[in-house]
A and B are shown apart, each in its own frame.
Chain A
Amino acid sequence: AQSVTQLGSHVSVSEGALVLLRCNYSSSVPPYLFWYVQYPNQGLQLLLKYTSAATLVKGINGFEAEFKKSETSFHLTKPSAHMSDAAEYFCAVSVGNFNKFYFGSGTKLNVKP
């Protein structure tokens, strides 16, 4: 069975500080891993995805994530938070022929001025 755990339903950082959003997954086969962002009253937008080509994946808006197989983790980071980063972030794993996704419960990022 696949599952995704996001530690911390709310994370608050100051503008300019490091952003770290945690994601751990369980998968019996090599997964595809994704981070999506959701701004208020909008759908989900892809930030980045891991597909085994490289363990460090760079995404949009300065975000990146590192795949660590030994830790079954795919944490999202950004060196310097911006006010516009305030949103909800979802980690997801995809397995199987039908490209089913399993989502974490989400982390709301608050950026303080």
Chain B
Amino acid sequence: DVKVTQSSRYLVKRTGEKVFLECVQDMDHENMFWYRQDPGLGLRLIYFSYDVKMKEKGDIPEGYSVSREKKERFSLILESASTNQTSMYLCASSSPGSGGLAKNIQYFGAGTRLSVL
């Protein structure tokens, strides 16, 4: 089974803190994604990465950065946390090279619920 692990289920941070959200996948997937989920808005893509050290902005990258130094790990960084970044954050991975039933599927972690006070 594919496993995507997010390091924390719940985080509470203060405004202005630098926050790191970590995500690790164990399936050698090329693509990794960070989303935020807010009620009524579905999932919105923050950043994604298609290879080590490669990253692309998603739809809402402002206030976030990412790091992918190793293929299995994709980190989301909030440089200076603000209250409007209180949300559920979901990491996902996929492999465009997978064949059959696995092709194009994104596999998700359990999520990190971040509260910024």
Binding site for B on A (CB under 8 A): 6, 9, 32, 34, 36, 41-46, 49, 51, 90, 94, 97-101, 103-106
Contacts and interface: CB of A to CB of B under 8 A. Distances in A.
Nearest to A95: B104
Contacts of A97: 96
Binding site of B, secondary structure by majority: helix, strand, loop or mixed? strand
A94 B43 CA distance: 13
A103 B43 contact: yes
B61 to A, nearest CB: 13
Nearest to B10: A41
A81 B22 CA distance: 37
Contact of B45 (A41, A45, A101, A104): A101
Contact of A51 (B9, B103, B110): B103
Given A41-B110, A43-B111, 12 more contacts: A34-B105, A43-B4, A43-B110, A45-B108, A46-B105, A94-B104, A99-B31, A99-B104, A100-B33, A103-B42, A103-B43, A105-B40
A1 to B, nearest CB: 11
A9 B90 contact: no
A90 B90 CA distance: 14
Contacts of A101: 33, 43, 45, 92, 106
B62 to A, nearest CB: 18
Contacts of A104: 42
